[in-house]
Amino acid sequence: MMGWRFLLSRRWAGYLALTLVFALVCVLLALWQLARRDEAVAEINRVAANFDAEPTPLADVLPELDSYDESDEWLTVSMTGRYLSDDQLLVRNRPLGGDVGFDVLVPFQLENGDVFVVDRGWVPTGERQNAPDAVPAAPEGTVTVVARLKASEPELASMGGLGDGQIGTIELPVIADLLDLPTYTAAYGLLASEDPAPAERPMAMPKPQPDEGAHLSYTFQWFCFGVLGFVGLGYIVRQEFRRLNADDPEEQERAAERERKRLARKTDAEVEDEILDNR
């Protein structure tokens, strides 16, 4: 009788090591999904707290040109100054509602001379050219703007085919170099309102809908996969034990009992089919 001594072999030690590695990978993937969910929940909470908040003066939220904290995302800020419409920029390949168009960026010069970049909204790509057919003009003169803060976007690989006044991403340090003026380089603003309000403006960005995704269910799945690895190993161990101990009277008795239970679960039709197959 072999018993369980076969488990002491190097081969089965290797199987156990592989199962442990598989389980560890599953745990790490589960924890990664939990972290992704935490990020999604934090974003939902920021939107809920900041999106419809009373506007705060820009200088109070961003005291320096490079000030910005992640918790400030979507926070509404107010400012007074004038648009530098001659320096307007269009950001290519911006999706909205299933379409792709342009974000309209217009530098906004505050009363102290500093410049804050305002994303006035979205316009569709033109019918016959890779540019908008029309872009609603920003108000002239002194304007009070309310906007929602967003972080500067990262550098994007060089994009070909950019037209005059077009950029590939909202990378504020690059825009500051183009303007050659003291410019906020860590955050820009999505336009909420303007006073005086123009007759027409680019399409406003919609409020993000709360959606934490399926990260929690994926977390449970990865934990289950890790457990199933050990369940599978246990099944293989049990089958190997039965094979190596097939000549042991006790194991033969257990095998006969298993066969009896298997036959008891069969329907009469299955038994008849099996008899016919054996003839």
pLDDT digits (tens, 9 = 90+) for 42-94: 999 989 999 999 999 999 999 999 999 999 999 999 999 999 999 999 999 89
Residues of the chain below pLDDT 50: none
Average pLDDT across the chain, whole number = 87
Spatial separation of the C-alpha atoms in residues 255 and 204, rounded to whole Å:
72
Q: What is the pLDDT of residue 162?
A: 67
Cβ partners under 8 Å of residue 7, min gap 6: 237
Q: What is the pLDDT of residue 40?
A: 92
The pair of three-digit structure tokens given for residue 170, joined into one six-digit string: 């909202």
Spatial separation of the C-alpha atoms in residues 182 and 66, rounded to whole Å:
11
Write down the residue that tokens 């995302």 correspond to.
73
The pair of three-digit structure tokens given for residue 20, joined into one six-digit string: 């442990």
Backbone φ and ψ of 118, nearest 5°: -110, 125
Instruction: Record the pTM.
Output: 0.74
Query: Residue 185: how many CB atoms within 10 A of its CB?
Result: 20
Instruction: Give residue 275's identity as a one-letter amino acid code.
Output: I
